[in-house]
Every structure is written in C-alpha cells, then in structure tokens.
Amino acid sequence: MIRKATVHDVRAIQRLLNKHAERGELLPRSLSDLYDHLRDFSIYEEKGAGPIVGICALHVCWEDLAELRSLAVDEPYQGQGIGHALIAEALAGAPELGIRRVFTLTYQTDFFVAHGFDVVDKASLPQKIWADCMRCVKFPECDEIAMLRFLAEDKPK
C-alpha cells in the first residue's frame, strides 16, 4: 500500500535511506531535513500497516520542475514492483502541483528509462537544484547521471 508519509514515519524513512547511503546509492538525510521535506515523501507499507519497505519523494524545485529523489526499496522487497509503483504514484501527483518536468539523479538509468526518463546534461538543469549537491561527499566530482521526463502533454515533439 502506498500512502503519504507522516511524522511517525520519519525515523523509518531515515533508516531505509541510510542503508542505501552506506552503499553510496543515495544521499543520507538528517532528521531535520526529513521533517522539513516530509510532504514530499510517499511510503510503501507491506499489507497496509506493516513495516515501511519503500520510499520516494517528489520535491518541487522550480516553477514547473520537480526532482524525483530518495527512491529506496528495502533489499528483501526489491524486484517486486514497489519502486515502479512509487514512481508511478509520484508522477501521477505532479500535474496537480503544476509540474511539467521531473528530473532525477541516478546510477540506475535503465530503471528510469522504463518510466519515460531520458539522459540529459546536468548543466541543462537550473542551478537551484544543486543545493543538495553542495553537501554531498562526491561534490564536485559527481558521477550520478541526470535524467529528465516531460509529462505527456508537454513532451517536445
């Protein structure tokens, strides 16, 4: 089951993010940052009230641009479509916010290509998105790949 995160979920979200951050797959997030951006997060719970096994955030960055970030699925649950469902949920809610473009920074390009994202030059994204990058241990030598998806009605011809 997918639902919006609540304050009661923050520590579980951080634990799941930290597991992936320790492997260099995601940026770690402080509790303060998670509380500040709680409304960005959706969670996937097993059987509706079980443990949180997947998370994803849609973070509004600019006038019509959002970042899909902090997508993580606990290892025992990977390969079951949870990540795909979380992305679909995030993208479905983007138009009601006025979002026309969604980007992500990732190492998993094939996964995001399956959701309509295309590789783009990082320099094509607004400078405002680099605020998180400044705190990253990999900055300025980031090796993540920038990907962008135009929502259906705005896709360039």
The DSSP secondary structure of 70-86, one letter per residue, reads: EEEE-GGGTTSSHHHHH
Q: What angle do CA 90, 44, 94 make, to 5 degrees?
A: 10
Determine the Cα–Cα distance for residues 12 and 96; give it in Å rounded to an integer: 28
| Burial of 36 per CB tally in 10 Å (0-12, 13-18, 19+) | exposed
Among the listed residues 99, 13, 15, 8, the one whose alpha carbon sits nearest the alpha carbon of residue 59? 99
Give residue-wise pLDDT tens across range 36-82.
999 999 999 987 667 999 999 999 988 899 999 999 999 999 999 99
> What pLDDT is attached to residue 27?
82
Classify domain 2-154 at the CATH superfamily level: Gcn5-related N-acetyltransferase (GNAT) (3.40.630.30)
Closest CA to 69 of 156, 140, 150, 133: 133
- Which of 16-30, 84-98, 141-155: highest mean pLDDT? 84-98
Kindly state the tokens that stand for 1.
């089951």
The pTM score is 0.86
Indicate if the pLDDT at residue 9 is higher than 90.
Answer: yes
- Residue 151: phi and psi, rounded to 5, are -70, 150
Domain ranges, ordered by start, for the chain:
2-154
- pLDDT score for 135: 56
Q: State the pLDDT at residue 92.
A: 94
